[in-house]
Structure 1
Amino acid sequence: MPIIEMHMLEGRTSEQKRRVAAAVTQAVVESLDCSPETVRILITEHAKDGFFVAGLTQAQRVNGQRSASLEEQNP
Structure 2
Amino acid sequence: MPFIDVTIAQGRTPEQIRELMHELTMAAHRTLDAPVANIRVVVREVPTTRWSAGDVTIAERQAAATEG
User: TM over 0.5: same fold?
Assistant: yes
Greater RCO, CA 8 A, separation 6+: 2
Identity in percent:
28
Q: What is the match of residue 2 of structure 2?
A: 2
Q: What is the match of residue 14 of structure 1?
A: 14
Q: What is the match of residue 73 of structure 1?
A: none
Cα RMSD, aligned residues only: 1.3
Count of residues in Structure 1 that have an aligned counterpart in Structure 2: 64
By how many angstroms is 1:19 displaced? Answer: 0.5
Q: Can you list the C-alpha shifts for 1:13-71, whole angstroms capped at 9, x where unaligned?
A: 1111110111111100011111111110111101111011122101222327xxxxxxx
Which contiguous aligned blocks of 4+ residues in structure 1 show a shift greater than 3 angstroms? none
Counterpart code for 1:51: W
TM-score by structure 2 length? 0.84
Give ranges in structure 1 of 5+ residues lacking alignment. 65-75
TM-score by structure 1 length? 0.77
Measured in 2, the distance between the counterparts of 1:55 and 1:39 equals 35
